[in-house]
A and B are shown apart, each in its own frame.
Chain A
């Protein structure tokens, strides 16, 4: 391991937290409340990361049997003792929030959109699924969307304690000594390099790599992938951890939706339909899936089919085809979540997006096909077949439920869709104490990680577990880092 101790430190703290979202806040607050002097470094102009723009739900399981559910979902990619720790601590998530001065409410939506966030388990057939209960920070829509309420609560904890936060200050390097301990961080502030001593420990909570094109291309199972969340997640924590010899895990894992990408926006727009009058086709106009049956975080599975004859992903991009009733029913992109939420308000009847050319119209299937570079006959046949199945009330091709079938009537509309990341799950491997591990399984001394960066979700992902995990392992990391004996 490279030793890079500076001759002089610019700042000194007990614990340095890199990245200010849910995990960073939980870590900083816990370490502070144990008496540590804490600094938070945040690369962006504002904190929050994905936590401030996500669905805002937090898992607080009903009982310990939730472990069996998670163990099945993990498919042996995460050690059981880590999941045990998670479940034991996630049971306390609601109490922790209440102790910190807020309250929670159960998330029980009526599920009317395709796709939609659901109240219960993403995989209800798995044993222990009945233990999935999602909460969010109690409040009304006037007080903000769930993730806005979450971030108001979390950032308030930091402000109330007077914990110092340096925004627009990206961490660039971890400092290690001859014993291999992580004893500080090198960051960039207003063009200058600053060295920050961490007497007790460093906690990495700086998210994934949704906005790093090369890492995405290399690690993830479908290409290209856009992102819905913060553009700040560019894999910085992964590179810093790699440089000091950390092992990586879960690098191929992701939570992925479908989205529209406008060139003038950095992030993509999450798209959902408020009426059953829509279907998906590949780039050739062929239907390929039960559109109403895809688990909301697992869209990439349906899109990652690779055609080795043509050497392409035929479902990337895919097209959603819909009708007038669906167009008028409501905005295809809602403002519930996503980075673009505060940058653009989608029109209620989608007319503005039609004028922009984001949504295309055809009086007939053939006319629409010509506009989206498809063979007219193929799209005509696909729509005729789909409408026939709808009228029969049975989708013999893909098993879409009867209640989700409605024949489409001309005029037809199309919007181009891409797989888009909510977040990635990979990063430095860690243990149940939030300690970062080297490839031999040994903890890297004084280095911790929590949250989306190297999350514990290594196979299938249950919604609301990212924030739940960020709070749990953020608290554990904060507690353990603050308990380290100062090295100087």
Chain B
């Protein structure tokens, strides 16, 4: 079953794909909104706590992430499992990143987030929240990558 598209973003960074590859892992983890207490389980797998604002309150969500389909320096994806609010929130998302060389030694970066495995109720309440989170994250990644390039 195809997932629900949450957000997409494409931008050009003034650096080679190799340089972008070296930067992007650290950039993601440094700009992820509300990211706290990351625990690296085995280099491809991590757990973290996310402090997010939802429905007017601040909540702590448990995040489990796995790097998949890693093909340096072209692409990788992060599979994210979010859980919180005493089990009320459960979301399975996949965030894909693709880097391709463009003219002038620059790199095109394409980011896409899709939601997979959400129940109907959760979809109704949380899709907007997830979209906003993904958009904010992609904007922050673009800003930081461009600063560092």
Q: List 9 A-B contacts (CB under 8 A).
A: A108-B72, A141-B45, A145-B41, A274-B38, A276-B26, A329-B38, A334-B39, A336-B43, A403-B23
Contact between chains at A330 and B38 (CB < 8 Å): yes
Q: How far is the CA of A348 from the CA of B50 in the complex (A)?
A: 13
Contact between chains at A349 and B36 (CB < 8 Å): yes
Residues from chain A with Cβ under 8 Å of B41 in the complex: 141, 145, 335-336
A109-147: CB near B (< 8 Å → 1, else 0) gives 111110011010000000000000000000001000110
Query: Which residues of A from 329 to 359 have beta carbons under 8 Å from B?
Result: 329-331, 334-336, 348-349
Residues from chain B with Cβ under 8 Å of A111 in the complex: 22, 25-26
Is A107 in the interface zone, CB < 8 Å from B?
A: yes
Residues from chain B with Cβ under 8 Å of A92 in the complex: none
Is A480 in the interface zone, CB < 8 Å from B?
A: no
Q: How many A-B residue pairs have CB under 8 A?
A: 70
Residues from chain A with Cβ under 8 Å of B35 in the complex: 329
Residues from chain A with Cβ under 8 Å of B76 in the complex: 110
Residues from chain B with Cβ under 8 Å of A335 in the complex: 41
Contact between chains at B37 and A348 (CB < 8 Å): yes
Contact between chains at A145 and B70 (CB < 8 Å): no
Interface size class of chain A, counting residues whose CB lies under 8 Å from the partner chain: 20 to 34
Q: How far is the CA of A145 from the CA of B43 in the complex (A)?
A: 10
Contact between chains at A336 and B40 (CB < 8 Å): yes
Given contacts A110-B25, A403-B148, contact A336 B36 (CB under 8 A): no
Given contacts A276-B26, A403-B23, contact A331 B72 (CB under 8 A): no
**Interface residues of B: mostly helix, strand, loop or mixed?**
mixed
Given contacts A111-B26, A402-B148, contact A329 B37 (CB under 8 A): yes
- Which residue from chain A places its CB closest to the CB of B51 in the assembled complex? A328
Q: How far is the CA of A402 from the CA of B49 in the complex (A)?
A: 27
**Interface residues of A: mostly helix, strand, loop or mixed?**
loop
Contact between chains at B27 and A403 (CB < 8 Å): yes
Residues from chain B with Cβ under 8 Å of A119 in the complex: 72
Is B44 in the interface zone, CB < 8 Å from A?
A: yes
Q: How far is the CA of A124 from the CA of B44 in the complex (A)?
A: 22
Is B4 in the interface zone, CB < 8 Å from A?
A: no
Closest Cβ of chain B to A249, distance in Å, is 32
Q: How far is the CA of A173 from the CA of B45 in the complex (A)?
A: 45
Closest Cβ of chain B to A354, distance in Å, is 14
Q: How far is the CA of A353 from the CA of B42 in the complex (A)?
A: 22
Residues from chain A with Cβ under 8 Å of B28 in the complex: 110
Closest Cβ of chain B to A241, distance in Å, is 36
Given contacts A112-B29, A348-B49, contact A117 B36 (CB under 8 A): no
A231-273: CB near B (< 8 Å → 1, else 0) gives 0000000000000000000000000000000000000000000
Q: How far is the CA of A328 from the CA of B25 in the complex (A)?
A: 19
Is B122 in the interface zone, CB < 8 Å from A?
A: no
Contact between chains at B42 and A348 (CB < 8 Å): no
Closest Cβ of chain B to A333, distance in Å, is 11
Closest Cβ of chain B to A138, distance in Å, is 12
Q: How far is the CA of A113 from the CA of B45 in the complex (A)?
A: 13
Q: How far is the CA of A110 from the CA of B20 in the complex (A)?
A: 12
Contact residue among B23, B39, B42 (Cβ-Cβ distance under 8 Å from A330): B39
Residues from chain A with Cβ under 8 Å of B148 in the complex: 402-403
Contact between chains at B36 and A109 (CB < 8 Å): no
Contact residue among B23, B27, B36, B42 (Cβ-Cβ distance under 8 Å from A145): B42
Is B5 in the interface zone, CB < 8 Å from A?
A: no
Closest Cβ of chain B to A463, distance in Å, is 12
Is A275 in the interface zone, CB < 8 Å from B?
A: yes
Contact between chains at A328 and B36 (CB < 8 Å): yes
Contact between chains at A113 and B40 (CB < 8 Å): yes
Closest Cβ of chain B to A385, distance in Å, is 22
Q: How far is the CA of A217 from the CA of B112 in the complex (A)?
A: 54
Is B52 in the interface zone, CB < 8 Å from A?
A: no
Q: How far is the CA of A111 from the CA of B40 in the complex (A)?
A: 11
Residues from chain A with Cβ under 8 Å of B22 in the complex: 111
